């Protein structure tokens, strides 16, 4: 185990700017590969009930983001599915709204870890504000995703 740790330490690039740039390049390549894989899923017919249903896509966006702990990854997947034609625009908008709610799970998780249990004090207030604002936005826009999709479809 110690030999493995020494090897990992030797792999450090030394310069933090260079390390950051290499990390960003690797992240970008990973997102491109993920996006390409999602685009190839565009002809999945058996999921059409799910992908064409706004409420299921909204819930899917929440769950996907909670599991991945990354709204960026969720949004990338949704965009790739729209680009492939697997998901219609209104359902994708609903999924992105769900991803915005799912991302609030991160702050609750951080609050649990920092507070040794249920978040307290300012941590609780920040988590409630973050969740509340995203819920308010999603509940306000969700009934209009078809109209928003029709409007955005003009561009």
Predicted pLDDT of residue 112: 80
Q: Comparing C-alpha atoms, which of 69, 11, 81 is closest to residue 39?
A: 81
State how far the Cα of 58 lies from the Cα of 53, in Å rounded to an integer.
Answer: 9
Burial of 97 (0-12, 13-18, 19+ CB in 10 A): buried
Q: How far is CA 56 from CA 13, 49, 94, 115, 121, in A?
A: 45, 9, 9, 33, 34
Q: What are phi and psi of 2, to 5 degrees?
A: -65, -35
State how far the Cα of 47 lies from the Cα of 86, in Å rounded to an integer.
Answer: 9
**Tens-digit pLDDT profile for residues 32-57:** 777 677 666 655 666 777 778 899 99
**Tens-digit pLDDT profile for residues 76-135:** 888 888 887 888 999 999 999 999 999 998 888 877 877 777 878 888 888 899 999 999
- In the numeric block, which tokens belong to residue 107? 């702050």
> Which pTM does this prediction carry?
0.71
State how far the Cα of 38 lies from the Cα of 83, in Å rounded to an integer.
Answer: 9
The band of 5, judged by pLDDT with boundaries at 50, 70 and 90, is low
- In the numeric block, which tokens belong to residue 112? 């649990």
């Amino acid at each position: 185990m110690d030999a493995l740790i020494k090897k990992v330490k030797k792999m450090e690039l030394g310069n933090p700017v260079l390390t950051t740039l290499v990390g960003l390049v690797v992240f970008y390549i990973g997102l491109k590969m993920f996006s390409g894989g999602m685009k190839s899923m565009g002809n999945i017919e058996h999921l059409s009930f799910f992908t064409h249903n706004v409420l299921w896509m909204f819930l899917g966006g929440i769950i996907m983001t909670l599991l991945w702990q990354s709204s960026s990854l969720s949004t990338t997947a949704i965009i790739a599915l729209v680009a492939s034609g697997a998901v219609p625009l209104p359902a994708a908008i609903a999924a992105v709204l769900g991803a915005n709610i799912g991302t609030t799970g991160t702050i609750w998780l951080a609050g649990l870890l920092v507070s040794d249990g249920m978040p307290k004090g300012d941590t609780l207030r920040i988590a409630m504000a973050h969740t509340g604002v995203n819920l308010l936005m999603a509940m306000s826009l969700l009934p209009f995703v078809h109209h928003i999709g029709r409007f955005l479809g003009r561009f």
